[in-house]
Amino acid sequence: MDHKLNNTHQKTLTQFFHEEKNTPSIEDDNDLHSPSFHHLSLQLHEKNHLSPNHNLNLNLNLEAAMSPLMPQSPESIWSHSPLWTPSHPSLLYCCISSLHRDGDIYSIAVSGDLVLTGSSSRRVHAWQPLDCHAKGYIHASSGDVRAMVAHAHMLFTSHKDHKIRVWDMRNGKGNFRPRKVTTLPNASHFKSFMSRPITPQYKVTSKTITPQHKDIISCMAYYLVEGILYTGSFDRTVKAWRLNEKKCVDSFIAHGSNVNDMVVNQQNGYLFTCSSDGTVKMWLRVYGENSHALIKVLCFHTYPIYALALSVSPSQKSFLYSGSSDGCINFWVQELSCRYNHAGLLQGHRFAVLCLVTLENLLISGSEDSTIRIWRREKAKANHECLAILEGHRAPVRCLGAFLQKDDKFAMSFLVYSASLDQTFKVWRVKLLPAEMKKSDYGDDDDDMEGENKISEFEKSPVLSPSWVKKKLQCRSLHKFL
C-alpha cells in the first residue's frame, strides 16, 4: 500500500514540475524588517536567568502548562556534560575554506552535489561541496531568505515578502540553471482562500487566516510521503502546503510566540515545532483530513527555543534535540507507541544555541558564543559526549549544514558548513577515525566513563568580535550581570 502511494506521489510531483503555468503573483510593497536575531536571542533570557523571582516564575509557568489542552512530557533525571572537553585524538578537523559575503547568511541547504546559501540579498548562491567554488545563483524578486529546504531536484525558499518560492534545480551538462516553478500562495489561490475561515486548534474564538504568512517565515520542513511542505512564521502560525494542488490546505496557530524551527519525522509524519514561548510541540495530520492535531507538548524549561534536529537510528528509534537561549540542548527519545520522553541535557555552550544539525549518530550545534560543537551519541544508554569544539567565527553561528563523504572507507569523513553573523561562510573537514567509530557503534562500558569524569573542567572564553560584545553588554545594561 505504501509503495503504491509513493509511486503515485512521485508521478504527481513530476507533473507538477513540468507544468508551465504563468500566474501573476501578488507583491507586497510593505518593506518590513524583522527584529534582529540578536534581539530574539535575548528575549526572556535575562529575565528568566537573572530574576530573583525565577523559581516563582518557573512554578507559575509549569502550573499554567498543566491544561488538558497542553499534555506534558514526563519528568526525567538529566545529567550535565562538562563545560569544555578537549578534542578526542581520534577526531581530526580543520577549516578548509572561509568566504566573506556581503550581508548576513541566514540559511544553508545541502542537496546532492550542491551547497546552497540564502542571505539578506535576493540571490541564493550554489557552491561545490568540497572546495566551495561558485556554481551559480538564483535571483529572486525578494530577498531575506530566512529558510530553505532542498529535496532531490526541488528547492523551497522563503522570502521577505512572506511568500515561498519553488525551484526546479534540474540542469544539463553540469550547469546550475534553476527554474522557478511557482510562488506560494499564487494569485488564484489567494483569492479563493480569502473568505474561508479557519478555526485555530486551541483558541476559543475563530479568526479568518489567509494562506499568506503575516510575518517572516522562519522555518520549513518537507514531508516526502504526502508531498506536504510545512512553514512556520514569527506570526505564530504553521501552514501546510500540498504541492500537487499548489495550495495551503491547513493553517493553525501553533505557539504563543515566534515559531523558530521545525522538523518532520519521515517515518510516521509527526511534525515538531519550537518557539520562543519555551515549548516544543508535536503535531500529526488527522487521518483522511487536512487538519492537524496537537499530540503532545514537550516542556522542560521556560527558555526560548531556537533550533530543532531529529536523528533516526538504525533501530528506528528517533532522538529529538532542541537548542535554547540558556545554551543547553535538551533531547527526547522515542519510546513505544511513538511516545517521546525527556532523556537528558547537553551543556557546554555559553550563550544561546541557534542551530542544530544531525549526521548519523552525531549532533552538530552552533551557538551565539561563536563556537560549533560536535557531539557523539553512544548506542548504549543514549549517552552523549562532546568530541570537538570548532572555533574560528567571531560572531554568533547562525546556521549549519553537513555533508557525509562516502568515499572514505577507513574513517567517517564529513564536511560541516557554518555561517555566522560575522558575514563569513566556513567549510570544516572532519574525520572520525575507526577507534571512535567503533566506540560509537557498539557502546562502551562504564570504565571509560569513569576516566572521562576525571577530566578537569575549566573555562575557555570564545573569540568574539569587540563590536558584538559591546552590543551584548548594551542589551544587558538593564540587569546586573552575574
C-alpha cell at 21: 503555468
- Section 107-136 average pLDDT: 90
The reply to whether 201 falls in a domain is: no
Cis peptide before 304 (omega within 30 of 0): no
Other CB atoms within a 10 A radius of the CB of residue 312 amount to 15
pLDDT in tens, 381-404: 678 999 999 999 999 999 999 999
- Section 372-388 average pLDDT: 87
Range of the domain at 126: 2-192+214-475
The reply to whether 468 falls in a domain is: yes
Residue 212 amino acid letter: Q
Residue 329: pLDDT band by 50, 70, 90 thresholds?
very high
Closest among 284, 374, 356 to 320, alpha carbons compared: 356
- Please say if the pLDDT value at position 31 is more than 90: no
- Please say if the pLDDT value at position 265 is more than 90: yes
| Cβ(356)–Cβ(308) below 8 Å | yes
Measured CA to CA, the distance from residue 393 to residue 423 in angstroms comes to 9
| Cβ(223)–Cβ(285) below 8 Å | no
What pLDDT score does 373 carry? 97
What pLDDT score does 195 carry? 44
The reply to whether 439 falls in a domain is: yes
The reply to whether 207 falls in a domain is: no
54 versus 107: which is more confidently predicted? Answer: 107
Residue 379: pLDDT band by 50, 70, 90 thresholds?
confident
Query: Angle at the Cα of 53 (from 52 to 56), degrees rounded to 5?
Result: 150
DSSP conformation class of 301: -
Measured CA to CA, the distance from residue 292 to residue 250 in angstroms comes to 8
Pairing of strands 217-223, 123-127: unpaired
What pLDDT score does 380 carry? 61
Residue 300: pLDDT band by 50, 70, 90 thresholds?
confident
The reply to whether 31 falls in a domain is: yes
The reply to whether 209 falls in a domain is: no
The reply to whether 480 falls in a domain is: no
- Distance between alpha carbon 313 and the CA centroid of its chain, in Å? 19
Structural domain count, the chain: 1
DSSP conformation class of 36: P
470 versus 235: which is more confidently predicted? Answer: 235
What pLDDT score does 15 carry? 52
pLDDT in tens, 37-48: 434 333 433 333
- Please say if the pLDDT value at position 473 is more than 50: yes
The reply to whether 203 falls in a domain is: no
Residue 466: pLDDT band by 50, 70, 90 thresholds?
low
What pLDDT score does 162 carry? 93
| Cβ(83)–Cβ(348) below 8 Å | yes
| CATH number, domain containing residue 56 | 2.130.10.10
Measured CA to CA, the distance from residue 354 to residue 41 in angstroms comes to 8
Measured CA to CA, the distance from residue 463 to residue 393 in angstroms comes to 7
